[in-house]
Amino acid sequence: ILHSGRYGYHPFNVAPSAIKAPIGWFTPRKLSSSAVDRTIRDYAECAARAREAGYDGVEIMGSEGYLINQFIVEHTNKRKDQWGGAYENRIRFPVEIVKAVRAAVGKDFIIIFRLSMLDLVEKGSTWDEIVVLAKQIEAAGATIINTGIGWHEARIPTIATSVPRGGFSWVTQKMKGEVSIPLITTNRINMPDVAEHIIAEGHADMVSMARPFLADPDFVRKTEEGRVDEINTCIGCNQACLDHTFKGITASCLVNPRSGYETELNYTPTDGKPPHQLHVQRVAVVGAGPAGLSFATAAATRGHEVTLFDQADAIGGQFNMAKVIPGKEEFYETLRYFEKQLKLKGVNVKLGQRVEVSDLATGAFDKVVIATGVLPRSLKMPGADHPKVLSYIDVLRKNAPVGKKVAVIGAGGIGFDVAEFLTHVGKSASSSVDAFAQEWGIDTTNSVRGGVAGIKPDVPAPAREIYLMQRKTTKHGKDLGKTTGWIHRLSLKHRDVNMIGGVSYDKVDDAGLHYTDKKGKKQVLAVDNVIVCAGQVPLRELEKPLQEKGVTVFRIGGADEAGELDAKRAIDQGARLAVQIETAKPGDPLSAAPTLSAQVFEFLGKFQK
């Protein structure tokens, strides 16, 4: 049961005090005392309706900086009445909510209270205050306490892929012994072994997961049946779940496009018999990157005969570059999943083989799917062929030597990844709780206010001096995901990456990169290398010759639309084509229709600006 308070995306939001959130669009209206009472009754009414509808319990969201959290912390609660001031007054709201809910639902109903145990904001709660609240929540009638980590406005990642698996279970462990009811821990628990370890080590009594079930709704069944290697692991990217939510788009999943669209993306069997009467297609897929893998496995699941070609000696395409970026190691799991699915579904995989038109136009295939991806866009300026100039593929896939002073041209997702790759020193923080806490300034004893007061990020000195450059005058990484873009920007800031915008590129020579700055002044960066991350072009060389031979050809992923590399779109396109391959025509749209809520959010965004 969630009331977002000042985080509401509308001009009618409310809060304990009229203080605008740093990430909010609108200043909230202060709740009157009678409105506070009414809101408490609303929580109870909501729980009663849940019981009437057949639920066994409810969870009350008291963390992440939402309304209840806003009452608890003095930073957001400046009231002078019985709901503000002293700490016992500020926690009256959550305690009264739990009491009211218990009275409404009776004794034999589960009430989980999600308690913010680590605010990750400078003026958050102290640990002693959190313990006091936990005990009062138990006394008020809660059955279980869940662990909330961080306010949404906190500038520390809590659930992104760069967070270590189970990286905050230590917070829950600290609460053990303070209350007698069970404790749940949460955040970045995405595989069964992670959950088992947390419970075995006594960090918590239970674990909470959400996004892993978007990635694989059969997570529990596969675990029970000993098929852990078949789990489609949540990679913590947030691109199709949280990012969609904040745009009013149906929440889904990058690695599982069926999530949220189960009634549209039905993998109906193609046995040729009633009631399906759909005929098996012999399909060649060229390219074993995200789009090709998605189509091949989904089409084979439906019973089609799929042959997957790739000139590389391993599947994955662009995933093989993403997985080497510090903090993005979860892509190894995605590749493991697809490799297993190709075997289980009987896809004929032909790697290390460059396929030609003559191989595809023999009549052996009913249809051909081009998923050949993209090529880096080349620099069009004097010196583009200078030895200093490298592409991102040279760096990430071919391990080209890179000097100590580097200009990265292009500040989109690829440019950010390359900058992260080149500046990183030592072990990835995503694999170590202590290293992560040190890098982001978290007190792992939770002895300072909010777990962060007075703690500064401590990042190893970067391996290189990086200049991240773009033609645009807008914020670097402007088009990165809403819920993760700030993480990438802060990470590079911690590594002293110089961000330069509004430039035009003049030439590259032995002296380095010559450019004109946003004031029109000529500049020279004396760099050892210039790495080009300035866009891509689709690779479609097979399409036209095949069409001329009368072959039905579809294109998906980067081969269809290059733009910024987008695994979410690529995987989604592959799945959508697979469910309609019998009747689809080249050029048919392969995306979900925009929702009304998305259009409303877009309008509100313009109104807010």
Return the percent helix, strand and coil in the chain, to nearest 5.
35, 15, 50
Residue of 66, 261, 392, 467 marked catalytic: 66
Model confidence over 326-352: pLDDT tens digits? Answer: 999 999 999 999 999 999 999 999 999
**Residue partners of 73: CB distance under 8 A and separation at least 6:** 90, 119, 121, 123, 124, 125
**Residue 467 appears among annotated catalytic residues:** no
CB 483 within 8 A of CB 246: yes
> With 60 as the cut, is the pLDDT of residue 609 above it?
no
Average pLDDT over residues 452-477: 95
CB 58 within 8 A of CB 101: yes
pLDDT of residue 273: 63
pLDDT of residue 277: 56
Domains of the chain: 5-209 (3.20.20.70), 282-376+537-591 (3.40.50.720), 389-425+461-534 (3.50.50.60)
Which residues lie across from 46 on neighbouring strands? Answer: none
Other C-beta atoms within 10 Å of 193: how many?
A: 11
Q: What is the DSSP pairing of strand 536-538 with strand 374-376?
A: antiparallel
> With 90 as the cut, is the pLDDT of residue 243 above it?
yes
The rounded mean pLDDT for the chain is 95
Q: 545 to each of 32, 274, 551, 552, 559, how far by Cα in Å?
A: 71, 37, 9, 11, 15
Per DSSP, the residues of 419-485 read HHHHH--SS-GGG-HHHHHHHHT--TT--SGGGTTT-----PPPSSEEEEE-S--S-TTTTS-TTTH
Read off the pLDDT band of 426 (50, 70, 90).
confident
Read off the pLDDT band of 502 (50, 70, 90).
very high
Average pLDDT over residues 270-290: 82
Percent of the chain with pLDDT over 70: 97
Percent of the chain with pLDDT over 90: 90
The count of C-alpha atoms lying within 13 angstroms of the C-alpha of 449, restricted to the half-sphere facing its C-beta, is 10
Average pLDDT over residues 80-88: 98
CB 308 within 8 A of CB 352: no
Residue 331 has phi, psi (to 5 degrees) of -65, -20
What are the strands, taking DSSP E only, across 14-120? 14-15, 29-30, 57-62, 110-118
Average pLDDT over residues 168-195: 98
Q: Say how far apart CA 596 and CA 75 lie, in whole Å.
A: 36
CB 403 within 8 A of CB 322: no
pLDDT of residue 248: 87
**Residue partners of 217: CB distance under 8 A and separation at least 6:** 256, 259
Model confidence over 64-77: pLDDT tens digits? Answer: 999 999 999 999 99
Model confidence over 507-552: pLDDT tens digits? Answer: 999 999 999 999 999 999 999 999 999 989 999 999 999 999 999 9
pLDDT of residue 439: 96
pLDDT of residue 603: 74
Q: Which two tokens stand for residue 602?
A: 């877009």
> With 60 as the cut, is the pLDDT of residue 404 above it?
yes
pLDDT of residue 598: 76
Burial classification of residue 12, based on how many CB atoms lie within 10 Å of its CB (0-12 exposed, 13-18 middle, 19 or more buried): exposed
pLDDT of residue 26: 92
Burial classification of residue 91, based on how many CB atoms lie within 10 Å of its CB (0-12 exposed, 13-18 middle, 19 or more buried): buried
**Residue partners of 521: CB distance under 8 A and separation at least 6:** none
pLDDT of residue 272: 60
CB 270 within 8 A of CB 306: no
Helix (H, G, I), strand (E, B) or coil at 529: strand
Which DSSP letter does residue 265 get? S
Q: Say how far apart CA 431 and CA 448 lie, in whole Å.
A: 25
In single-letter form, the type of residue at position 352 comes to G
pLDDT of residue 608: 59
Average pLDDT over residues 136-152: 98
Q: 415 to each of 217, 392, 404, 468, 477, how far by Cα in Å?
A: 34, 8, 17, 7, 9
Tokens 């985080």 sit at which residue?
7
Model confidence over 31-54: pLDDT tens digits? Answer: 999 999 999 999 999 999 999 999
Which residues lie across from 530 on neighbouring strands? Answer: 389, 407
Average pLDDT over residues 353-379: 95
